[in-house]
Amino acid sequence: MAFDPKEHQHERFNPLTGQWILVSPHRLKRPWTGQVEKPEEEVIPSHDPKNPLCPGSIRPNGKVNPEYDGVYVFDNDFPAMLPDVPSPAESDDPLERSRATTGACRVMCFHPRSDITLPLMTIEEIRKVIDEWSGQCTELGKTLKWVQVFENKGKVMGCSNPHPHCQIWAMSSLPNEASAEDMNQRDYLAKNGVPMLLKYARSEDEKRIRVLVDNEDWICVVPYWACWPYELLLMPRRRHILRMPDLTDSERNSLADIMKRLLTKYDNLFEVSFPYSMGFHGAPYGIPDSECQHWQFHAHYFPPLLRSATVKKFMVGFEMLAESQRDLTAEQAAEKLRNLPDVHYKLRK
């Protein structure tokens, strides 16, 4: 019997994290009788004075939002990290280690309307979001080592507030995921003489089997080692870029373009506002560029939906205790997404 990646289980290696992923495509044939998630197609008002993210609304701490008409950033009212706290005492017990860390947490609203999401915004509006992201990274990176821009979209991903927004958490230490990517990209450059994701982008560009969308400056793929069903990796197509503030004017415009296109594909897959967690990774701040040449700026998109708008992937059991597992192959997922219309389903009705 000859091996068929669409039929037979196998493991794939994620060179960014250093972890293996079990791929089990034959499991797509099994029936599903488990939990069903309600599709997120509720009617959302464009403005709700009770929504703490809307212009003019009162937040839980009593502060009043300005009547903003574009991007709006404020310090998180309930931050996970504070800028000035005591350091833990040193421990002689190697099993009870701790370290000091300081940080800042901010919330960033993309648009004044609550019934708008990124794929329904104009490229010009998304460009303003990118510019603010870059400015926040520059500002926070002056004093903090890691700046994490991330968006949780949809109730399934724990976002209970129906308003287009993201969060920006910055910290003085390097978090786990960033540390793994830092180590593995550094090792790859030392062994191969080229940044890992620069080489990977070129490889995917040549093969074209996992490419979803691309343009002059960017390429978006379902990575070979994808864990989530419709996971995406967005990378510079040709240029070596360390951090978001390093983007040129044209690269910011083309980033806005490709983000709108890939998110439109997401929404069109099951004709719902597609839930996901996403975030940007780039070289740490406060470190000379000469010591960060192994890094390549990129974004991860992790969506949970699997078979439909009502069936999601659960990371439980084996995934929590052994290793991540997926059913749909990366190539099958890329083909499904790639063949979807380029116009958002809400604009076609």
Which positions are annotated as active-site residues? Answer: 165
The structure tokens 């040449």 sit at 293
CA separation for the pair 55, 48 (Å, rounded): 9
CA separation for the pair 174, 60 (Å, rounded): 31
CA separation for the pair 230, 305 (Å, rounded): 8
CA separation for the pair 126, 212 (Å, rounded): 20
* Sign of the C-alpha dihedral computed for residues 37, 43, 45 and 46 taken in this order: positive
Count of alpha carbons within 13 angstroms of residue 136, beta-carbon side? 28
CA separation for the pair 95, 199 (Å, rounded): 39
* Residue 37: both structure tokens together: 């998630």
